[in-house]
Structure 1
Amino acid sequence: MDLGLNGKVALVAGGSAGIGLAIARDLVREGAAVSIAGRDPGRLAKARDEIRAELGAEVGTRALDVRDTAATRAWVDDVAAEHGAVHIAVANAGGPPAGPTGAFGADDYRAALELGMIAHIAFVQAALPHLRRAGWGRILLVTSETIREIIPKFALSGIVRPGLIGYAKTLVHELGPGDVTVNVLAPGYTATDALLADLTGDAEAETARVAAEAGIPLGRVARPEEVAAVGTFLLSARASFVTGTVQVVDGGRSLGM
């Protein structure tokens, strides 16, 4: 299936590993020019080399913290200057620490808000003028299933992330007619480095245990590429009438309507 992404220019924040890297790979396969950003230069170089070896293509890299608004804006503008346009913005960042509400102080809540909501919005605001200028754009906010269903042990995530739904839906109406869409991708338990780092023993057995404890009907956690496939579709020309949505990818765990 041709997703209509050949020649598009894409920015993927948090693109050095996990779901972000899997989305970047998909975009490269579809013929897009891709730049990935992340905090760790070593992980960025490893991701770049993996894509080069696997797909025979080059991706741009930029070491930055997405909470640094000026650095993020400079990345966006530099990529636009290099390629002549920006069409796709994937806002993605790590999540706040796990724990109940009482485990955190006011500064922890502020930090979670900065990472889980404000950094995403600032990145999108930096990219929007370029998307409007190009006359075609896709914005994807990568968050968590906690944006739709509260999981008490992930209190910070469930408190700060839902604001992105309000932002996305409001932005859709502000954008109005045209071909710029805004969607939210909400993964459930996924075999990313963050999840695997907390496990001991056989990874397959341990992730199956996590899935059972979480009540995932499919009996396993997601692979990053499975979540990325949904995100890449939302970024495609095929999804031209899909905007303002929250797409949960959780293996059927959520019971909400």
Structure 2
Amino acid sequence: MDLGLDGKVALVAGGSAGIGLAIARDLVREGATVSIAGRDAGRLAKARDEIAADLGAVVGTRVLDLRDTDGARAWVEDTAAEHGAAHIVVSNAGGPPAGPTGAFGPDGFRDAVELGMIAHIGLVQAALPHLRRAGWGRVLMVASETIRDIIPQFALSAIARSGLAAYAKTLVHELGPGDVTVNVLAPGYTATDALLGGLTGDLGAETARVAAEAGIPLGRVARPEEVAAVGTFLLSARASFVTGTVQVVDGGRSLGM
């Protein structure tokens, strides 16, 4: 299936590992020019080298903490200047610490909102003028299933990331007619470093245990590439009439309508 991404210029934050890296790889396969950003220079270099070896493509890299608004803007401007345009932006950052609401004071909530909402908005706002200028654009903000179905032990995630849904909905109406879409990807338990870092022993058995405890009907956690496949579709020309949505990818765990 041709996703209509050949020749598009994409920026993928959090692109050195996990879901972000899987999305970046998909975009490269589809012919897009890709720049990835992340906080760890070593992991970025490893991701760049793996993509070059596996897919025969060169991706740009930028060491960046997404909370650095000026740094995010500079990444967008430099990428657009180098390649003549910017069409796709994927905002993706780590999640806040786990725990119930009573485990955190006001500063903890401020930090969570800064990471889980404001950082995403800053990157998107920096990219929007380029998407409008190109006349074609895709915005994808990677959040969590907690945006749709609250999990009490991940209170900060639910509180901070819920704002992205409201931002996406209002931004869609502000953008008006045209071919620029805005969507939120809300993955559930996924086999990323954040999850696997706490697992020991047989990986399959451990992830199945996590799935059972979380109540995932499919009996396992997601693979990053499974989540990325949904995200890549939302970034594609095929999804031209899908905008303002929150797309949950959680193996059926959520019982919300």
Check if 1:99 corresponds to 2:99: yes
d(CA) in 2 for partners of 1:201 and 1:109? 34
- Post-superposition shift, 1:202? 1.3
Cα deviation 1:164-188 (Å, max 9, x = unaligned) = 0000000000000000000000000
Flag as ranges the 4+ runs of structure 1 deviating above 4 A.
none
Q: How does 1:191-210 map to 2 (within 5 A)?
A: 191-210=191-210
* Alignment correspondent of 2:26: 26
* Alignment correspondent of 1:252: 252
Between the aligned residues of both structures, percent identity stands at 86
Check if 1:81 corresponds to 2:81: yes
d(CA) in 1 for partners of 2:64 and 2:214? 33
The letter for the 2-side match of 1:171 is L
For structure 1, the residue ranges without an aligned partner over 5 or more in a row are: none
- Post-superposition shift, 1:46? 0.3
The letter for the 2-side match of 1:140 is L
* Alignment correspondent of 1:147: 147
* Alignment correspondent of 2:132: 132
* Alignment correspondent of 2:186: 186
- Post-superposition shift, 1:160? 0.9
The letter for the 2-side match of 1:15 is G
The letter for the 1-side match of 2:209 is R
Q: How does 1:151-166 map to 2 (within 5 A)?
A: 151-166=151-166
d(CA) in 1 for partners of 2:57 and 2:232? 18
* Alignment correspondent of 1:177: 177
- What is the root-mean-square deviation of aligned Cα atoms in Å? 0.4
Cα deviation 1:212-239 (Å, max 9, x = unaligned) = 0000000000000000000000000000
d(CA) in 2 for partners of 1:109 and 1:210? 27
* Alignment correspondent of 1:213: 213
d(CA) in 2 for partners of 1:136 and 1:109? 35
d(CA) in 1 for partners of 2:43 and 2:214? 30
* Alignment correspondent of 1:62: 62
d(CA) in 1 for partners of 2:172 and 2:124? 12
Q: How does 1:231-246 map to 2 (within 5 A)?
A: 231-246=231-246
Cα deviation 1:177-219 (Å, max 9, x = unaligned) = 0000000000000000110001121111110000000000000
d(CA) in 2 for partners of 1:86 and 1:108? 34
SS of residue paired to 1:4? coil
d(CA) in 2 for partners of 1:143 and 1:201? 29
The letter for the 1-side match of 2:46 is K
Cα deviation 1:65-100 (Å, max 9, x = unaligned) = 000000000000000000000000000000001011
